[in-house]
Amino acid sequence: MRLDEIDSTNSEARRRAEAGERGPLWIMAARQSAGRGRRGAIWQGAEGNLMATLLLSPPGNFAQLSFAAALAVADMVQHFAPAARITLKWPNDVLADNRKLAGILLESGSGWLAIGIGINLAAHPEGTEFPATSLAALGVVPPKLEEALTLLAARFAHWYDRWMSEGFEALRTAWLARAPQLGAPIRARLPHETRHGLFAGIDAGGALLLREPAGVRAIAAGEVFF
């Protein structure tokens, strides 16, 4: 479904879930008045950018589907920008030429999951902590929102089916293939501390593996900078 304006597509998904909707349902808005990212950050969604949420009721570990969403976004973006270097940054960012092009926010409740996806098609914010970009900044004519969402939905369905039939390892392998910073120094900002080490991959549950002098540490939640 497409809305002209909403507070946020994730908020709309939550309202529908609490009213009994279980999806799968894609919700897209041309404008958001209160878009948000991870840890309560404001998501600046300019008009012409894709702002959408998928509401569904999957079995198993909901968090693993952030990797399916990231792979779907990467596939979609690569289709429109074949010359760009599209990579993934843990836990759920999609980069183009080492600049953030898209972000993903998972929120859940009793039996439902909302996967919010924001993709900078036409514009991107300036002065962000991690540099951002957009398809337009890459010299690509931004696709129409319906065209972008149709391809995104198809690619997510592909990765969701792989997850259902093969488990998380299929997503993990594909995700790592788009994570060229493997072995590179990174800074992991956790809720109460910041750790430094080498990016050693992700484990069988999706946690970041940080190689420190004392050994490898698994991190379930945080932000990564390199």
Q: Does 163 share its domain with 201?
A: no
Predicted local confidence at residue 32, as pLDDT: 74
Contact yes or no for 73/152 (Cβ under 8 A): yes
Residues of the chain with pLDDT under 50: 39
Q: Name the residue with tokens 């968090």.
A: 63
Predicted local confidence at residue 129, as pLDDT: 81
Q: Does 71 share its domain with 154?
A: yes
Whichever domain contains 88, its CATH number is 3.30.930.10
**pLDDT for 141-158, tens place per residue?**
999 999 999 999 999 999
Query: Does the pTM exceed 0.75?
Result: yes
Predicted local confidence at residue 84, as pLDDT: 95
**pLDDT for 67-101, tens place per residue?**
999 999 999 999 999 999 999 999 889 999 999 99
Q: Name the residue with tokens 């300036």.
A: 126
For every residue of 49-103, DSSP letters joined together read SEEEEEEE--SS-GGGHHHHHHHHHHHHHHHH-TTS-EEEETTTEEEETTEEEEE
Q: Does 137 share its domain with 190?
A: no
Predicted local confidence at residue 11, as pLDDT: 93
Q: Calculate what percentage of the chain has a pLDDT beyond 90.
A: 70
Distance of CA 54 to the CA centre of its chain: 12
Out of 143, 159, 177, a domain closes at 177
> Does residue 24 have a cis peptide bond before it, meaning omega lies within 30 degrees of 0?
yes
Is the backbone of residue 87 left (phi > 0), alpha (psi -120 to 50) or beta? beta
